[in-house]
């Protein structure tokens, strides 16, 4: 290598030549490869492809033929297999320790014994306390020492009489063990002029009794005497004296006198159940009484005759007989009769007669008629 640097220049020129040569060789190879891939001219198909054959034109009638539907094939329902538990649940179960070993089980039970004993002690203590309280409340505590009666002035019985009929001795019976419905029934039956009795518990040791009185509404003819009844058909008293200021009731139904009890069964009537003759008789009596009260004639009615349901008869002030016919529209009939009675002059208010009210809205006044008395007079044969 000299100082002018000729040697390195020759080396560079040699390198340049080799690079150029390599590039030229690669270009030649690429050209040769392209020539090989090119398709020769004689291999090209110069023949034309035949035109597609034209289909014959079909007639319109053939084109309009409906296409036949293929039958639908039902695919069988594939039952899905029951889903198995998830991998996470399996992993959790695998993490749990197996307790098949008897010693492990014993250790677990021994560890839980203190908690179980504590819970058992607490539960038994609670049960014992409840049993003791129950026994005390039924035996020692809540003894009935006082009976309070409200509204005693409205009835004709004293507080002592009402307290006695309860059947409770002071200090002997418990509040929890007493039967309130039975006490109410005893008071109403044994003291007939008490229409309703209400008994309540007043803790710790008292009974509160509220009584409502009832009064005589009619005197039911029975044999040689009368059974005094209230508006609900409760039998209050039996007497042989002719009652005053109450109407006499005549009926064809045979009644067995049981003082303190009711005629018929009012509960069946309220529920719409099948009733007997006694219940129907009391129902009809109540309807007539309500209609007379609405017409303003109740205070003057002295006789109610319901022996024939198609020919009901009332007596007004023992001088006028009111013929009602059947039980239809009783209130309208009695209001018509009240108008006819109110139209009487002063001289006519003492006359006897009858008013036919069987036709609704009409009143036919008759001055002469055969009187109907309240009591049936009987004549005894004369002794020879």
Q: What is the dihedral of CA 276, 279, 272, 260, to 10 degrees?
A: -120
Does the structure show a pLDDT above 60 at 13?
no
Does the structure show a pLDDT above 50 at 192?
yes
234 confidence band (pLDDT: 50, 70, 90): very high
* Residue 143: burial class (beta carbons within 10 Å; 0-12, 13-18, 19+): middle
pLDDT of res. 92: 59
Closest CA to 318 of 242, 262, 381: 242
* 365 contact partners, CB below 8 Å, separation of at least 6: 340, 353, 354, 355
Does the structure show a pLDDT above 70 at 180?
yes
Report the C-alpha gap between 219 and 242 in whole angstroms.
9
Report the C-alpha gap between 218 and 249 in whole angstroms.
6
Report the C-alpha gap between 187 and 334 in whole angstroms.
38
pLDDT of res. 375: 38
Percent of the chain with pLDDT over 70: 67
Report the C-alpha gap between 241 and 244 in whole angstroms.
9
Does the structure show a pLDDT above 90 at 314?
yes
* Residue 315: burial class (beta carbons within 10 Å; 0-12, 13-18, 19+): buried
The fold of 146-213 is Ubiquitin-like (UB roll) (3.10.20)
pLDDT of res. 104: 75
pLDDT of res. 85: 52
Report the C-alpha gap between 50 and 361 in whole angstroms.
115
CATH 3.40.50.11690 fits 218-366, yes or no: yes
172 confidence band (pLDDT: 50, 70, 90): confident
Does the structure show a pLDDT above 90 at 189?
yes
Decide if 192 contacts 260 (C-beta within 8 A).
yes
Decide if 340 contacts 353 (C-beta within 8 A).
no
Q: What are phi and psi of 291, to 5 degrees?
A: -65, -40
| 218-232 pLDDT per residue, tens | 999 998 899 999 999
Does the structure show a pLDDT above 60 at 58?
no
State the CB neighbour count (10 A cutoff) for residue 372.
12
pLDDT of res. 329: 94
383 confidence band (pLDDT: 50, 70, 90): very low
Mean pLDDT of 174-199: 90
Mean pLDDT of 17-40: 59
pLDDT of res. 73: 60
The strand ranges marked E within 233-319 are 235-239, 248-250, 301-305, 312-316
| 98-131 pLDDT per residue, tens | 545 677 777 777 777 787 878 888 888 888 888 8
Decide if 306 contacts 312 (C-beta within 8 A).
yes
Does the structure show a pLDDT above 60 at 42?
no
| 68-104 pLDDT per residue, tens | 566 656 666 555 554 455 555 565 555 555 545 677 7
Mean pLDDT of 123-143: 79
* pLDDT, averaged across the chain: 77
Least confident residue range of 83-92, 103-112, 182-191, 268-277? 83-92
| 327-376 pLDDT per residue, tens | 999 999 999 999 999 888 777 788 889 999 999 989 998 875 443 333 34
Report the C-alpha gap between 182 and 86 in whole angstroms.
67
Q: What are phi and psi of 150, to 5 degrees?
A: -105, 150
Closest CA to 230 of 256, 271, 263, 189: 263
Give the strand pairing for 146-150 and 206-213: parallel
Mean pLDDT of 304-325: 94
Does the structure show a pLDDT above 50 at 384?
no
């Amino acid at each position: 290598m000299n100082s002018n640097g000729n040697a390195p220049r020759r080396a560079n020129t040699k390198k340049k030549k080799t690079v150029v040569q390599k590039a030229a060789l690669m270009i030649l190879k690429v050209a040769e490869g392209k020539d090989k891939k090119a398709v020769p001219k004689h291999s090209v198909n110069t023949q034309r492809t035949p035109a597609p054959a034209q289909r014959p034109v079909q007639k319109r009638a053939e084109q309009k033929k409906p296409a036949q539907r293929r039958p639908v094939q039902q695919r069988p329902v594939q039952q899905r297999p029951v889903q198995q538990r998830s991998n996470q649940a399996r992993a959790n179960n695998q993490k749990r320790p197996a307790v098949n070993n008897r010693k492990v089980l014993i250790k677990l039970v021994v560890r839980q014994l203190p908690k179980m004993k504590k819970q058992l002690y607490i539960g038994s203590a609670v049960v014992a306390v409840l049993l003791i309280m129950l026994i005390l409340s039924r035996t020692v505590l809540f003894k009935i020492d006082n009976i309070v009666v409200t509204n005693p002035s409205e009835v004709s019985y004293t507080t002592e009489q009402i307290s006695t009929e309860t059947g409770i001795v002071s200090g002997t019976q418990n509040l929890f063990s007493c039967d309130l419905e039975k006490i109410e029934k005893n008071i109403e039956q044994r003291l007939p002029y008490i229409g309703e009795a209400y008994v309540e518990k007043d803790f710790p040791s008292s009974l509160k009794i509220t009584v409502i009185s009832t009064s005589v509404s009619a005197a039911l003819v029975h044999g040689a005497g009368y059974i005094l009844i209230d508006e609900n058909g409760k039998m209050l008293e039996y007497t042989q004296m002719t009652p005053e200021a109450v109407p006499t009731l005549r009926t064809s139904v045979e009644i067995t006198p049981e003082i303190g009890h009711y005629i018929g069964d009012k509960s069946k009537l309220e529920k719409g159940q099948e009733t007997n003759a006694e219940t129907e008789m009391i129902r009809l009596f109540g309807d007539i009484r309500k209609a007379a009260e609405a017409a303003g004639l109740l205070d003057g009615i002295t006789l109610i005759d319901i022996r024939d349901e198609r020919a009901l008869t009332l007596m007004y002030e023992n001088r006028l007989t009111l013929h009602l016919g059947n039980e239809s529209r009783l209130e309208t009939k009695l209001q018509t009769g009240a108008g006819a009675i109110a139209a009487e002059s002063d001289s006519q208010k003492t006359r006897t007669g009858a008013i036919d009210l069987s036709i609704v809205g009409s009143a036919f006044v008759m001055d002469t008629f055969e009187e109907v008395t309240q009591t049936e007079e009987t004549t005894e044969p004369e002794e020879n």
